[in-house]
Copies of this chain bind each other. A is one copy, B any other.
Amino acid sequence: MISLNSYIAVDWGTTNRRAYRIGPDGRNEAEFEDGKGILSLSDGGFAAAVGEIRERLGDLPLLMAGMIGSNRGWKEAPYVPCPAGLDEIAAALVWPEPDRSAIVPGASFVDDDRADVMRGEEVQLLGAVAAGLIGADALACHPGTHNKWVRLAGGRIAEFRTVMTGELFNLLKEKSILAELLHDKAEPDAAFRAGVRQGLKGEALTADLFSARARVLLGRLDRADASSWVSGLLIGGDVRTGTAGASGEVAVMGRPELTALYAAALDEAGFACREVDGEQAFLAGIAEIARRLS
């Protein structure tokens, strides 16, 4: 084992990466973000991209999480099956440079009916529990291109489900019969909440989506409200899936404009929303993993 007294934590995703120098006292001393996500790098480019991080933040060990451990990343880190806690994840690090740089594995969930994977969110979720930002048995929601709904039990990830809400909204916006209706930014307004109520019913999404166009053509929905209504429809269906069987409070971590939409949708569904700072949660999770290596 190496001593991770001082180290660099990297949240390395598909399109971006964010790196932090963590000092001996656990403080975040310096950081930067850029667009060098894994898709911008070729197979041989990872060592150079890591060298660049060390040039900027210091010649320190690296602890990395996210898509950097996928089959398109630097070195594949096999998924840790649920229930997955910090101990299981710290024990399964993959080392592209022995004793110098480690990749945190993602988590997988499989049962008779379902199969799902995550990479990166596990550090934030388990970090949020460790830092007391959410309870050890919380229901958490992690909005983004691929929203994750995660049930934590005893401080470990017990079960989760990925929903392609953000990606589907973007696809519809870029290129579909609804594209011309989806220019405006979705806001957590009355039209959004009306869409949420429709989505919460759990009728067929592909039918409800087409109805947005019909509603506008027949004067039942203002064109200017279509974006919010469709966003509400998608997020309402997402919340219906994610909160099935749950009650009380949901922890939400994500970008503020997305968190506001999910908070409004959760409110419509009768849930309280606790907003969690994703960066703080990530650094807490990485610190817990580093502690387990010392």
Partner of A164, one of B210, B221, B234, B240: B210
Interface-facing stretch out of A51-59, A182-190, A196-204, A286-294: A196-204
Q: Is A97 an interface residue (CB 8 A)?
A: no
Q: Which of B110, B202, B217 contacts A218 (CB 8 A)?
A: B110
| 8 contacts across the A-B interface (CB closer than 8 A) | A116-B214, A146-B210, A162-B207, A164-B176, A164-B177, A164-B207, A167-B177, A204-B238
A167 to B171, CA, bound (A): 11
A221 to chain B, nearest CB (A): 8
**A60 part of interface (Cβ distance < 8 Å):** no
Question: Cβ of A113 < 8 Å from any Cβ of B?
Answer: yes
Question: A163 an interface residue at 8 Å Cβ cutoff?
Answer: yes
Nearest CB in chain B: distance from A200 CB, A: 11
A168 CB contact (under 8 Å) in B162, B202, B206: B206
Checking B71, B167, B210, B213 against A176 with a beta-carbon cut-off of 8 angstroms, the contacting residue is: B167
Number of copies: 2
A6 to chain B, nearest CB (A): 35
| Complex Cα–Cα for A218 and B108 (A) | 8
Binary flags per residue of A207-243, CB closer than 8 Å to B gives 1, else 0: 1011101110110110000000000001001101100
Complex contact A204–B162 (CB within 8 A) = no
A177 to B162 Cα, complex, angstroms: 13
Is A172's CB within 8 Å of the partner chain B? yes
Complex Cα distance, B198 from A213, in Å, reads 28
Residues of A within 8 A of B (CB): 71, 79, 108, 110, 113-117, 146, 161-165, 167-168, 171-172, 174-177, 198, 202-207, 209-211, 213-215, 217-218, 220-221, 234, 237-238, 240-241
Q: How far does the alpha carbon of A232 sit from the alpha carbon of B50 in the complex, in Å?
A: 43
A-B pairs, top 6 by smallest CB distance, nearest first, are A204-B241, A162-B210, A115-B214, A115-B215, A164-B206, A163-B206
**Please, which residue of chain B has its CB at the minimum distance from the CB of A168?**
B206
A116 with B162: CB separation less than 8 A: no
Q: A214: which B residues are within 8 A, CB to CB?
A: 108, 115-117, 162
Q: Which residues of B contact A206 (CB under 8 A)?
A: 163-165, 168, 205, 234, 237-238, 241
Name the distance in Å between A98's Cβ and chain B's nearest Cβ. 27
B residues less than 8 Å from A176 (CB atoms): 164, 167, 171
Q: How far is the CA of A163 from the CA of B146 in the complex (A)?
A: 23
Q: Which of A71, A115, A172, A221 has the most CB of B within 10 A?
A: A115
Can you add 13 more A-B contacts, CB < 8 Å, to A164-B176, A204-B205?
A110-B220, A115-B214, A115-B215, A115-B218, A146-B210, A162-B207, A164-B207, A165-B206, A167-B176, A168-B206, A171-B175, A205-B237, A206-B238
